[in-house]
Structure 1
Amino acid sequence: MVNGGPRERGMGRGMLAFVVADVVLVLALLVLVGVWVAGSSTSSTPDDGPGTAATVASSPSTSTGTAGTAPTTFRMPSGNIACTVSVDGVTCTIASIRFEAPVAAGCTGQTGHVFVLSTDGVTVPCVDGAPPAVAGDDVATLEYGSSMTVGGYTCTSATDGVTCTGADGVGFRLASGAWSQLP
């Protein structure tokens, strides 16, 4: 069968709903952690930029941690890319892309706006709905040239995008004009 029976189509919709729910939860987590990080950094650093990167780089949740380490959220200086790094992996969202998004078999939504790195490698899930918005100033900024490590995962901010890898070197490089899987 080319299109599959009603039961097979229903399972696909269920999986799609699960992925969409996960993306919404991750984005909500990004906002909550960003508010928490911004709130903890405003008492000791100015809001003019460089202090924010120092707060992100020195906060307890950005160091190598154990399973109890809280996820840490950051945005690139442009706000176009935002990532959450935890001991379980990395999830990055990108609001505006100028590259051809990867194709996901059976996807009726969009790909290319969410990238996930975990022990299973890199995945680019199919997501229904509008692309993510540009991250606001309430999310801590990881300044260009800075890195953040949580558990075995490290993300490095650069003018040409963000690079996130696991301890094994597997990961991805993401920018508005291109993405690539590493190594």
Structure 2
Amino acid sequence: MRNRRLAFNMSLAAGLFIGLPAATAQAAESVTFQAPSGNIACVIASDGSGAGLVRCDIGTFTYVPTAAPADCHVKYGHTLEISRTDGVGFSCAHDTMIGSSYSVLNYGQTIRNGSIECSSDVSGITCTDTSTRHYFYVSRQDYRMG
């Protein structure tokens, strides 16, 4: 697992990422969603070639994240990401998507954009890059990455 700087700039996200219903997500360049609880919000971006990136933010959590990198001088532990270049891990982030008016990904539903697939369950959100098999699971109490 590698710690990285923020891959998704939220000012860019504000201009480009539009919450779409799951039925239209397949063809979209970027999709956003949130858990029914509103405590987890995510964006999935595709570069057009099928390569995907995903960032999920969690508002409140009780888990203990990995140690922040020495050069991280902003919030850490609330943002998880997957990218083909950096793999999976926590990221430093000065912003959050929590509180955005994204579409809800109901429990039991799955959304896919490019190679990224995310599923909502009553216990949390799981996102996987189906091409690399990198994944993360995040909930208020726990996280897993691989």
Query: Above 0.5 in TM-score?
Result: yes
Q: Structure 1 unaligned runs (5+)? A: 1-15, 38-55
Mark the CA change 1:155 to 1:21 in structure 2 (over 3 Å): closer, same or farther: closer
Query: Counterpart of 1:58 in 2: which secondary structure?
Result: helix
- Per the alignment, residue 160 of structure 1 pairs with 123
Query: Counterpart of 1:98 in 2: which secondary structure?
Result: coil
Query: Counterpart of 1:77 in 2: which secondary structure?
Result: coil
- Per the alignment, residue 79 of structure 2 pairs with 114
Structure with the higher fraction of residues in strand conformation: 2
For 1:152 and 1:20, the matched residues in 2 are separated by: 20
Mark the CA change 1:20 to 1:117 in structure 2 (over 3 Å): closer, same or farther: closer
Whether the 8 Å contact between 1:122 and 1:172 is mirrored in structure 2 is yes
Q: Structure 2 unaligned runs (5+)? A: 47-51
- Per the alignment, residue 179 of structure 1 pairs with 143
Deviation at 1:154, TM superposition (A): 0.1
Letter in 1 for 2:18: V
Deviation at 1:181, TM superposition (A): 0.2
Letter in 1 for 2:80: F
For 1:98 and 1:22, the matched residues in 2 are separated by: 24
Which structure is larger by alpha-carbon Rg, 1 or 2? 1
- Per the alignment, residue 58 of structure 1 pairs with 23
Deviation at 1:86, TM superposition (A): 1.7
Whether the 8 Å contact between 1:104 and 1:111 is mirrored in structure 2 is yes
- Per the alignment, residue 25 of structure 1 pairs with 11
Query: Counterpart of 1:113 in 2: which secondary structure?
Result: strand
Q: Provide the TM-score with structure 1 as the length reference.
A: 0.65
Query: Counterpart of 2:75 in 1: which secondary structure?
Result: coil
Residue 59 of structure 2 corresponds to residue 95 of structure 1: yes
Whether the 8 Å contact between 2:41 and 2:97 is mirrored in structure 1 is no
For 2:129 and 2:6, the matched residues in 1 are separated by: 25
Deviation at 1:109, TM superposition (A): 2.7
| Equivalent residues, number | 135
Whether the 8 Å contact between 1:98 and 1:176 is mirrored in structure 2 is yes
Query: Counterpart of 1:111 in 2: which secondary structure?
Result: strand
Mark the CA change 1:134 to 1:127 in structure 2 (over 3 Å): closer, same or farther: closer
Query: Counterpart of 1:125 in 2: which secondary structure?
Result: strand
Which structure has more relative contact order (CA 8 Å, sep 6+)? It is 2
Whether the 8 Å contact between 1:81 and 1:135 is mirrored in structure 2 is no
Query: Counterpart of 1:33 in 2: which secondary structure?
Result: coil
Match of 1:127 among 93, 96, 105: 93
